[in-house]
Amino acid sequence: MTAEPSPDSLSLPLELADFRPGSVWLAGAGPGDPGLLTLLALQGLRQADVIVHDALVGERIMALAAPSARLEFAGKRGGKPSAHQDDITNRLIELAREGHRVLRLKGGDPFVFGRGGEEAQALAERGIPFRIIPGITAGIAGPAYAGIPATHRTANQAVILATGHSCAGGPDWKALAATGAPLILYMAWKGLPGIAAALMEGGRSADTPVGVVTDATTERQRVLVTSLGACVADLEASGMEPPAIIVIGEVVRLRPVLDWLPKELPHG
């Protein structure tokens, strides 16, 4: 694997946006591979005075921050001690009011199950200038790095992104099963037994292929291909651990042909 370039050696070919003091950029860092950062996210890393970052933003991405930037950890991980969302939001407001250029850096995309909408709403209510910088979401990139396309003309004309963990009780899995569309699930590890059972009750066959991608797009990535009926037992026996993206649908059958990522290929 090649050495990581130092932050000082990185320069952008153009000025993409004005990162003003007293403002907040809500940016997605992508799923893990630094090569999937957007140029705007990289500019934010290079220009921010303070970077408030999540647990899923890896060390190789944080190494791209300007040496002068102050790093503040605000990770939220299921089942582990985490910062409270209100505290994170209030900290963003406080830092902006102190005149800092604040980068709120989240894994994936801030508006896809990332609470970026909640934080942006709070900033708007308090008159704090902000910018949204979309990132590549793990639900698309993770399967792609596993050779599983979100859509394929011969397999599906729609795809459903859903969370397996919700304070509002979660999706109606039987209704989603009835659509026939592939499901891409975030944060569904613990809820998978109930989700799989509900999908089969809703009409999905036990033979429906399932792909599980852990540590997507990083050098630790692992992939399990199983079926809806066997996925719970197979996942338990696999020794894999979250974070994971779970794909349920016919697109998983394309992995043997589209598995493009050589084991020796540097990534993440």
Residue span(s) of the chain under CATH 3.30.950.10 come to 138-257
Looking at residue 23, what is its pLDDT?
Answer: 98
- 3-state SS class at 209: strand
CATH superfamily of 138-257: Tetrapyrrole methylase, C-terminal domain (3.30.950.10)
Active site residue 187: yes
Residue span(s) of the chain under CATH 3.40.1010.10 come to 23-133
- Catalytic option among 33, 54, 109, 215: 54
Looking at residue 250, what is its pLDDT?
Answer: 97
Q: Mean pLDDT, the chain, as a whole number?
A: 91
CATH superfamily of 23-133: Tetrapyrrole methylase, N-terminal domain (3.40.1010.10)
- Encode pLDDT of 204-226 as tens digits: 999 999 999 999 999 999 999 99
- Encode pLDDT of 75-130 as tens digits: 765 555 567 899 999 999 999 999 999 999 999 999 999 999 999 999 999 999 99
Looking at residue 83, what is its pLDDT?
Answer: 78
- 3-state SS class at 132: strand
Looking at residue 165, what is its pLDDT?
Answer: 80
What number is the average pLDDT over the span 222-251? 97
Looking at residue 102, what is its pLDDT?
Answer: 98
Question: Do β-strands 70-73 and 102-106 pair in parallel, antiparallel, or remain unpaired?
Answer: unpaired
Looking at residue 9, what is its pLDDT?
Answer: 52
Q: What is the DSSP letter of 122?
A: H
Record the tokens describing residue 94, joined without a space.
Answer: 């406080």
Looking at residue 170, what is its pLDDT?
Answer: 80
Active site residue 240: no
Looking at residue 79, what is its pLDDT?
Answer: 54
Helices (H), 192-246: 192-201, 231-238
State pTM to two decimals: 0.90
Structure confidence at residue 16 as a pLDDT band (50, 70, 90):
confident
- 3-state SS class at 105: strand
Burial class (CB in 10 A: 0-12, 13-18, 19+), 261: middle
Distances (CA, A) of 141 to 109, 216, 257: 11, 8, 17
Q: Residue 222 and residue 247: Cα distance in Å, rounded?
A: 14
CA neighbor of 8 nearest in space, from 70, 71, 69, 67: 67
Q: What is the DSSP letter of 53?
A: E
- Catalytic option among 76, 174, 200, 234: 76
- Catalytic option among 33, 109, 187, 215: 187
214: left (phi > 0), else alpha (psi -120 to 50), else beta?
beta
